[in-house]
């Protein structure tokens, strides 16, 4: 089975060659288990902007790695877009990690489909490709013929997902043990930080956001926020939701839970004290909101991210 890794301008080289080495190791583990499955990897150099990657091969999967700071993934060359469309039409699984999802989305293939990318890139992605449904909870989103992974290092998760799909879950788990990579259930939302949308251009709503940032622990009433903007409640709600893509109540909740995460990581305060400090009178309500947004209990969050 052949896999293509596209080395486009700005692609993270550690992921390009790391994936190649991971698949080589998977072949060794596969042989140890008496399986004949074998992954052959082509690294396709795409350094020019006017020529497609040169290869007449049929690929089981094509991978778009993460990107270093570069704007290529925001404006990928038309020749690469066409090449990806051709590979997809031939049956190749299109795969990406982190910013690589932008390149797949630029082909139109992700329209009305579900995908993921790094949580910090979500606003930019949604601005460019609003018809793609972003699932930012998942580290890997496997949608059959399209597999997308979240963060910069999620190429490891993507590689394991392909090994499980193309060879076997047993080989994938053994490979994870060899590499000391957790192959159990993880979610990207464990790692997310609330990154509000601030480039929407609505100066009035931006002032409200700055006010919430300063006063998130106080009692906040929609009517008072609307009045401070000289807007009706209905108009305020419409403009706030359009600018931030969140209702004010959800926005405030996300802001408070992010502050709770910061305090859990950086202080020795109890969660009961933290809940009250970020604006919750009911600790149970804060705990429920925390679990729903982060996907972990406050205790599990601290155990995962705070080294004793």
Q: Tell which phi-psi region holds residue 23, choosing left (phi > 0), alpha (psi between -120 and 50) or beta.
A: alpha
Q: Does domain 203-305 have CATH number 2.40.10.10?
A: no
Q: How far is C-alpha 293 from the geometric centre of its chain's CA atoms?
A: 15
pLDDT in tens, 88-138: 999 999 999 999 999 999 999 999 999 999 999 999 999 999 999 999 988
> What does the block give as tokens for 140?
């890997």
**212, containing H or E segment:** helix 203-215
96: burial class by Cβ within 10 Å (0-12, 13-18, 19+)? buried
Q: What is the pLDDT of residue 121?
A: 95
Q: What is the mean pLDDT of each run of 10 residues along the chain (308 residues)?
A: 95 97 96 91 77 72 94 93 94 97 98 96 95 93 96 95 95 93 83 90 95 94 93 95 95 96 94 96 96 94 86
Helix axes 13-32, 155-166, angle to 10 degrees: 30
pLDDT in the model for residue 106: 97
Q: What is the pLDDT of residue 49?
A: 43
The distance in angstroms from the start CA to the end CA of the chain is 45
The proportion of the chain whose per-residue pLDDT surpasses 70, expressed as a percent, equals: 96
Element at 43 (helix H, strand E):
strand 40-45
Residue 72 CA: distances (Å) to CA of 26, 42, 128 = 31, 21, 14
Which of 133, 136, 180, 132 is CA-nearest to residue 156?
Answer: 180
Instruction: Say whether domain 2-190 belongs to CATH 3.40.50.880.
Output: yes
Residue 69 pLDDT: 86
Cα 165 from chain centroid? 21
User: For the chain, which residues make up each domain, given as ranges?
Assistant: 2-190, 203-305
Q: What is the pLDDT of residue 30?
A: 95
- The confidence score (pLDDT) of residue 183 equals 84
Q: What letter does residue 187 receive in the DSSP assignment?
A: B
pLDDT at residue 50, rounded to an integer? 52
């Amino acid at each position: 089975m052949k896999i293509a890794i596209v080395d486009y301008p700005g692609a993270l080289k550690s992921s390009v060659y790391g994936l190649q080495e991971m698949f080589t190791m998977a072949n060794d583990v596969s042989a140890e288990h008496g399986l004949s499955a074998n992954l052959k990897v082509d690294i396709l150099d795409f350094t020019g902007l006017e020529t497609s990657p040169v290869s007449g091969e049929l690929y089981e999967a094509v991978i778009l790695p993460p990107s270093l700071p570069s704007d290529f993934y925001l404006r990928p060359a038309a020749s690469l877009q066409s090449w990806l469309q051709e590979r997809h039409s031939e049956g190749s699984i299109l795969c990406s990690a982190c910013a690589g999802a932008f390149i797949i989305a630029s082909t139109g293939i992700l329209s009305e489909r579900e995908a993921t990318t790094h949580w910090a890139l979500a606003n930019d992605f949604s601005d460019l490709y609003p018809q793609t449904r972003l699932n930012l909870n998942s580290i890997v989103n496997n949608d059959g013929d399209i597999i997308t992974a979240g963060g910069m290092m999620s190429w490891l998760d993507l590689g394991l997902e392909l090994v499980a799909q193309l060879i076997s879950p047993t080989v994938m788990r053994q490979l994870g043990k060899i590499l000391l990579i957790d192959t159990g259930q993880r979610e990207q939302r464990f790692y997310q930080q609330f990154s509000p949308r601030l480039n929407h251009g609505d100066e009035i709503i931006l002032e409200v956001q700055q006010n919430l940032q300063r006063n998130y622990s106080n009692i906040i009433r929609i009517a008072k926020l609307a009045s401070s903007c000289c807007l009706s409640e209905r108009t305020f709600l419409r403009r706030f939701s359009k600018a931030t893509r969140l209702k004010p109540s959800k926005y405030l909740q996300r802001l408070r839970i992010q502050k709770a995460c910061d305090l859990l990581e950086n202080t020795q305060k109890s969660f009961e004290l933290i809940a009250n400090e970020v604006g919750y009178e009911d600790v149970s309500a804060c705990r429920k909101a925390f679990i729903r947004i982060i996907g972990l209990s406050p205790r599990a969050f601290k155990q995962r991210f705070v080294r004793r």
